[in-house]
Amino acid sequence: MYMEAFDMANSSYPNIAIIGGGPGGLMLARLLQVRGITATIFERDTHGDERPQGGSLDLHAGTGQRAMRLAGLEQAFLAAARPEDQGDRLYDPAGTLLFDRDGLDDDRPEIDRTALRRILLESLDPGTVRWGSKVETIAPAGKGNYQVVANGVAMAFDIVIGADGAWSRVRPLLSDAVPIYEGVTLVEFGFDTQRHPAVDALVGSGKMFAVGANLALIGQRNGHGHIRGYTAQRIPEGDARKLAEATPEQVRETLLEAFTGWAPSLTDMIERGSFIGVRPLHALPVGHRWTSRPGLTLIGDAAHVMSPFGGEGVNLALADAADLADALMSGEGWDAVTRFEEAMAVRASPAAEGAAKGLEGTLSSAGVSNVLAHYRRRVAA
Ligand SMILES: Cc1cc2nc3c(=O)[nH]c(=O)nc-3n(C[C@H](O)[C@H](O)[C@H](O)COP(=O)(O)OP(=O)(O)OC[C@H]3O[C@@H](n4cnc5c(N)ncnc54)[C@H](O)[C@@H]3O)c2cc1C
């Protein structure tokens, strides 16, 4: 069956595969399901909590929160969200507090990734997610459909949606673009506030940054007495690769050398945090788009991965899911999806530009003065 005539609004709906059970893919499946359409999600994780899902996320009113509302999950979101954790703190490398705001009037409540994933998963019909299904290939299979191969098993679908993040297997069928290393690598650590009261006090009610020349230390409050810590370093890609292959002890040693001269109150985070992982940052070119191809599309990081320094990634993924569900249900066939793809690129471009500028501004030779000026401008606006 092919798409020129698909009309999901009138129940001649196609067979849909969503590759990736991250926030974007799960939200899309939910928004189709509330309208009576079942999609199959292929997810390489073997269950919802298989790996650390990463730090806390703030959902924005017009994008992430809107999608949760459309999905009928607003109450579940509000029950799990932490509006009290929207503060910002900024330190210099000597450990001097330069900026402190509680953020209580903001409308960007934080939610743990595990909580967001759980809410979305619990909203789906049992069996929607095929766990432990790492998609190996996707290829045109004639008659306008696509063959998805996971764990050596092939299945045919009319529509395949790549919600499979930065290293999408679907994207190469649409675009030659590949994410480029942005020159900055994060190393992630975990803290339990009971065991680390000094880190607890340092971080305050939300996020803290300590910034030096081309170096930063970040602390982010999560739920349930946890804090995520990150070092951010401007290093060449080869060094990032070596760091990713090093043992946790070697990583710690390399970082302590890079942060020589910083206050012990800050470097304690490197010495005492539980090592989680090395994360070199990659981004697709700002404004990434492709020629629409019926039956195949992308959402979220697969379409527009950007550095986390803009704080928009998950919000865009959730908003893309909401808009793609609308396009698929519009009864206007693939033309509506083509319009969605264009609108998605237009929305993602300024966010990607902002994320790239945020990264440049934070990890610069000017050190903390750039970031302080940014925070002060934001308060004055
Ligand atoms: C350190 C860090 C901090 C961040 N902080 C923030 C923040 O504060 N705010 C914010 O808005 N965004 C933040 N982001 C960005 C945010 O995490 C992403 O934009 C968001 O997760 C994108 O969602 P997604 O569903 O598109 O992709 P992902 O979350 O990447 O999900 C993709 C899913 O696809 C699965 N998958 C991948 N390949 C395959 C395959 N071949 N077969 C089957 N399954 C596959 C993966 O296992 C994963 O579950 C941060 C990112 C990083 C790295």
Question: If you average pLDDT over residues 279-284, what whole number do you get?
Answer: 98
Q: pLDDT at position 63, please?
A: 97
| Segment 233-266, tens digit of pLDDT | 999 999 999 999 999 999 999 999 999 999 999 9
% of the chain exceeding 70 in pLDDT? 97
Q: pLDDT at position 380, please?
A: 82
| Residue 229 near ligand 1, beta carbon < 6 Å | no
Q: Which alpha helices (DSSP H) does the chain contain, by range? A: 23-33, 66-70, 74-80, 113-122, 197-203, 237-245, 248-258, 264-272, 301-304, 313-329, 334-362, 368-380
Q: pLDDT at position 84, please?
A: 86
| Residue 44 near ligand 1, beta carbon < 6 Å | yes
CA–CA gap between residue 199 and residue 23 (Å, rounded): 29
What separation, in Å, do the N-terminal and C-terminal C-alpha atoms of the chain show?
Answer: 53
Distance from residue 167's CA to the centre of ligand 1 (Å): 10
Question: If you average pLDDT over residues 274-283, what whole number do you get?
Answer: 97
Q: pLDDT at position 6, please?
A: 54
Q: Which residue has the tokens 């330190």?
A: 91
Of residues 303 and 54, which shows the higher confidence score? 303
Instruction: Return the best residue to mutate from 44, 169, 188 for the ligand 1 pocket (most ligand atoms within 8 A of CB).
Output: 44
Of residues 42 and 83, which shows the higher confidence score? 42
Can you read off the two tokens belonging to residue 312? 């928009």
| Segment 352-368, tens digit of pLDDT | 999 999 999 999 999 99
CA atoms within 13 A on the CB side of 348: 30
Closest residue (by CA) to atom 29 of ligand 1? Answer: 22
Q: Which residue has the tokens 């302080």?
A: 372
| Segment 172-206, tens digit of pLDDT | 999 999 999 999 999 999 999 999 999 999 999 89
Q: pLDDT at position 219, please?
A: 96
Q: Is residue 7 predicted with pLDDT exceeding 60? A: no
| Segment 306-349, tens digit of pLDDT | 999 999 999 999 999 999 999 999 999 999 999 999 999 999 99
| Residue 120 near ligand 1, beta carbon < 6 Å | no
Distance from residue 287's CA to the centre of ligand 1 (Å): 19
**pLDDT-derived band of residue 85, with 50, 70 and 90 as boundaries?**
confident
Closest residue (by CA) to atom 45 of ligand 1? Answer: 20
**pLDDT-derived band of residue 3, with 50, 70 and 90 as boundaries?**
very low
One DSSP character per residue, 234-294 reads E--HHHHHHHHHS-HHHHHHHHHHHTTTS-HHHHHHHHHSEEEEEEEEEEPPTT-----BT
Entry pTM: 0.95
Can you read off the two tokens belonging to residue 324? 């793609």
| Residue 165 near ligand 1, beta carbon < 6 Å | yes
Q: Is residue 13 predicted with pLDDT exceeding 80? A: no
Q: Is residue 304 predicted with pLDDT exceeding 50? A: yes
Q: Mean pLDDT score of the chain, rounded to an integer? A: 94
Of residues 86 and 273, which shows the higher confidence score? 273
Which numbered atom of ligand 1 lies nearest the CA of 315?
Answer: 11
How many helices (H) and strands (E) in the chain?
Answer: 12, 17
| Segment 106-115, tens digit of pLDDT | 889 999 999 9
Question: If you average pLDDT over residues 218-237, what whole number do you get?
Answer: 96
Q: Is residue 2 predicted with pLDDT exceeding 90? A: no
| Residue 20 near ligand 1, beta carbon < 6 Å | yes
One DSSP character per residue, 313-340 reads HHHHHHHHHHHHHHHHHSSSTHHHHHHH
Distance from residue 165's CA to the centre of ligand 1 (Å): 5
Which numbered atom of ligand 1 lies nearest the CA of 220?
Answer: 8
